[in-house]
Chain A
Amino acid sequence: SQQGEEDPQALSIQEGENATMNCSYKTSINNLQWYRQNSGRGLVHLILIRSNEREKHSGRLRVTLDTSKKSSSLLITASRAADTASYFCATVVTQGGSEKLVFGKGMKLTVNP
């Protein structure tokens, strides 16, 4: 079942601009994670924010989490052409005593040089 939903589904910007991606989820979470996928490649973990955190930074990445609205945003500042990729949010869902990572459908970011 779908837990995270990224918005927008596709975004095209110019190099140097900021890119903001949003993610909404349905159930309570321990943490929310963002991953990046270059075309035809595996996913790479970018950043994790815990449920008791509201904002987190890593280099040009800034993640916010609003548990009351069940939403998160990923901001990439001063974007580069190399940031072109698909971005996924993922949350942990506990089912039958096991914890699984459930991914959204992803958002395709294109950064034009």
Chain B
Amino acid sequence: SQTIHQWPATLVQPVGSPLSLECTVEGTSNPNLYWYRQAAGRGLQLLFYSVGIGQISSEVPQNLSASRPQDRQFILSSKKLLLSDSGFYLCAWRPWHGRRDNEQFFGPGTRLTVL
């Protein structure tokens, strides 16, 4: 069965510090991968998605970046965090095999607080 992991679960970082959040998927190959951010009491904002190694699409211009160094690894990074980067970051995956359903499977999330 497939599983998705995110770490760390929580993170408190000072403004201006770097960021690296990691997401890995097990039990599947060539998944589509997604990074979302959820502000308090808000819906999900799609930040990045990837259809393959090294293929990253950005949805919202910001000081965040994403990378996919391996098939089942998706990393969210920042060189200098802003206060507005605080939020709940969710990684998700879906099968690549062309299903039209687009059902996504979410990780447990990372709570980021920037002080």
Chain A residues engaging chain B, CB cutoff 8 angstroms: 2, 30-31, 33, 35, 40-45, 48, 88, 92, 98-106
A72 to B7, CA, bound (A): 35
**CB of A92 to closest CB in B, whole Å:** 5
Shortest CB-to-CB span from B111 to chain A, Å, is 7
Q: Which 9 residue pairs are nearest across A and B when measured between Cβ atoms?
A: A42-B106, A105-B43, A103-B44, A43-B106, A103-B43, A92-B102, A42-B108, A42-B109, A45-B103
Minimum Cβ distance to chain A for residue B61 (Å): 15
Q: Is the interface of B mostly helix, strand, loop or mixed?
A: strand
Chain B positions near chain A (C-beta within 8 angstroms): 34, 36, 42-44, 46, 49, 51, 57, 59, 88, 90, 92, 100-109, 111
Q: How far is the CA of A101 from the CA of B99 in the complex (A)?
A: 14
CB neighbours (8 Å) of A33 from chain B are 102-103
Among B90, B102, B109, the one with the most A-chain Cβ atoms within 10 Å of its Cβ is B102
A29 shortest CB reach to chain B, Å: 10
Which A residues are in CB contact (< 8 Å) with B57? 98
